[in-house]
Amino acid sequence: MLDIRVLTIFPRIFDSFLSHGNPARAKEMGLLRVETVDLRDFTEDRHRSTDDYPYGGGRGMIMKPEPIVKGLRMVSSLMKNPRVILMTPQGRLFNQRVAEELITMDGILIVCGRYEGVDERVRCYVHDEISVGDYILSGGETAATIMIDALVRLVPGVIEADSHIEGESFYDGLLEYPQYTRPRVFEGHPVPWVLLDGHHEKIRRWRKKQALARTLARRPDLLQCRVLEAEENQLLEEISSEANYGSTENNHECA
């Protein structure tokens, strides 16, 4: 079972997310446990304050260390060796490789920051800091749902067949190949012929080539980190040659 606990001042943000799709299915199957814990429960003043003005002046408010650390200690005591993660734009970038790393943990305890961030001393009590992208969100809750959704898909049994994951973007370090369904022709755009003749090897090779071409065009950085197979090198040579001659190989990008 994937065991996740979330420390947040807005626990109800997660209600809808956890009630639909794969998270809901995983919970029903007993494969996922997600509990949200209100940080305000660990405050001691009558206003249940979790933030205060920054020392040295500046804009905005900073989340106080006491409620966060108290919450971490209490929730950690109820879990088996949890990985404590702070959601922050300063963290390492979350990607499929990180998801596959985190899914091996016994448990995950997520801290969701708000306002202008958390008191720097909170970082002494976490194991990891993760960002979901180079942009600023209103709080760590949205980022946490993104991470949880990616992790849930990796739990064995959540996706009906593991083969559904294969071929998806980033599964093997490439973007996903183009997908088509009926009708065969839509407003003058036909389905590539190779997908219609039932030749499985040709389809496999076409999909690999399209995945490489799309990755080269949109995320060349992924290829720079990839150890290419002999077939992939050959396909990239074909892609380069076709590009020089203006071939699109049935690739129906919208104008």
Please tell me whether residues 55 and 121 are part of one structural domain.
yes
Q: For the segment 56-76, what is each residue's pLDDT rounded down to a tens digit?
A: 999 899 999 999 999 999 999
- Among residues 121, 152, 183, the one where a domain terminates is 152
Cβ atoms < 10 Å from Cβ of 190: 13
Task: Report the DSSP beta bridge partners of residue 130.
Answer: 92
Please tell me whether residues 66 and 142 are part of one structural domain.
yes
Integer Rg of the chain from CA: 23
Residue 142: domain span? 2-152
Please tell me whether residues 188 and 79 are part of one structural domain.
no
Give the pLDDT confidence score for residue 162 in this predicted structure: 47
- Among residues 152, 182, 209, the one where a domain terminates is 152
Please tell me whether residues 110 and 199 are part of one structural domain.
no
Q: What does pLDDT average to over the chain?
A: 92
The band of 225, judged by pLDDT with boundaries at 50, 70 and 90, is confident
Q: For the segment 136-180, what is each residue's pLDDT rounded down to a tens digit?
A: 999 999 999 999 999 999 999 999 754 455 556 666 789 999 999
Residue 113 lies in a domain: yes
Provide CB contacts within 8 A for 118, sequence distance 6+: 62, 63, 65, 68, 86, 88, 111
Is a pLDDT exceeding 60 seen at residue 250?
A: no
The pTM assigned to this predicted structure is 0.86
The total number of structural domains in the chain stands at: 2
CATH (domain of 114): 3.40.1280.10
Please tell me whether residues 75 and 193 are part of one structural domain.
no
CA distance linking residue 227 with residue 174, whole number of Å: 12
Is a pLDDT exceeding 60 seen at residue 251?
A: no
Task: Count CA atoms within 13 Å of residue 173 on its CB side.
Answer: 11
- Among residues 152, 179, 210, the one where a domain terminates is 152
CATH (domain of 211): 1.10.1270.20
Please tell me whether residues 193 and 240 are part of one structural domain.
yes
Provide CB contacts within 8 A for 79, sequence distance 6+: 3, 5, 106, 107, 109
